A and B are shown apart, each in its own frame.
Chain A
């Protein structure tokens, strides 16, 4: 969990994805190989912006203990205005979200590892009011 998390931390903190400059498709999570162009892929980092729209969402009551998340919490599939989609928590009351809600990225605590007390941060979203 730990090395895996830090390895991609730059992408988690900033919503940076990659773009294939050969075909223009953007990817989040970042890919080093474009599934359309494969050998002709030309990959560069790209900022994906902070805003998007909720495609679907759920309120999770029962989930893995390993991330020490406070339940219940809202998780959504968000289509970013820049193109790619992202799975993220939404910081809001479950009644304040529906399919189509506009959301904006924020930087928040995700959870902590019990014994060492290491706190994980990452991108979450909140409704745009």
Chain B
């Protein structure tokens, strides 16, 4: 296997992009990535696209060919593969793209993710399709409801509070102010979160990431060719995907995210480093409790201590474990299938020193992308 570098990053605006179609959003990110990589376009050999639900969001399947076409790649007839893994679709697309370059089959490929959600009124119902429809959704649980049960149990077992969860939302909003691509570039206060309406108790509206329009594109190249295009390659030292029981009721302990734990352990081994060598994190905060549980399941602290990291400010941008300098899903936006690629893009910008205003001094970074309540996890480690 050869080393794989990221040589280009493109991220569209995230948000309610009423003026942009699915195609427009993809083109916006794709053009930026190709320019960033100094490519002409013909060098691209394949494309992997994370997209959760084109069929339900915009009644468009065959997203793979559509995206290749509007990225200007139909004329060179590249293969294009659409990947679906709930809101981990982007992360899994990146993994597939990585494998195709690491194996030597392709030299230069695109790893993309895109979602257009604001053409339908029922985006949150479509997000709920990431949980078990027959045994979780039918009896009345929603994605928020399942995370709410995890939050309630955490509070009961360990004494975390609604204020602690609100602190995560406040932090992510603060970081997003410095991110020009972010959906919500404004600070909020703990009180704003606490006074927002309950969706599924104890989770509230402002504990919840929006469902956004957006696209992100990375260009990957084998180490031996990367130097032709860039002086600042960022290497993917590891990318690991794991799975878990889809329904919470099948898991022994609903606060333990076994897919995350497994993927982190394998990714650290693959990249031959320790967690303490990682300087910056992008974590899947689909809900505030998701980010808190990730602190514990990644191993930034022990089980039951996630809220202590919040209270001590350890995951602030100037803390020991800077988490979500982009603003995360909560404030940068959650464009579902694009999120895993967007997270990786933020880590690449951070490692290149291109994250002006929200820059963390970092040699290594980690992205953690989750599908649903954690039945899919993708953990990647990058190094400059």
Contact = CB atoms under 8 A, between A and B. Distances in A.
Interface core residue of A57, A77, A87 (most chain B CB under 10 Å): A87
Given A75-B141, A86-B249, A87-B247, A59 B135 contact: no
Question: What is the predominant secondary structure among interface residues of chain B facing chain A?
Answer: helix
B135 A89 contact: no
B141 A122 contact: no
A122 B149 contact: no
Given A29-B135, A56-B152, A99-B152, A77 B140 contact: no
A12 B247 CA distance: 16
Interface in B155-180: 156
A64 B153 contact: no
Interface residues of B, number: 35
A63 B153 contact: no
A85 B148 contact: no
Contact of A59 (B137, B200, B247): B200
A87 B125 CA distance: 18
B137 A64 contact: yes
B249 A28 contact: yes
B248 A77 contact: yes
A65 interface: yes
Contacts of B128: 63-64
Nearest to B248: A77
Interface in B61-90: none
Given A55-B149, A58-B148, A60-B148, 17 more contacts: A5-B138, A28-B249, A55-B254, A59-B198, A59-B201, A60-B140, A61-B199, A62-B124, A62-B144, A63-B128, A77-B248, A77-B249, A87-B141, A87-B247, A94-B201, A122-B138, A122-B139
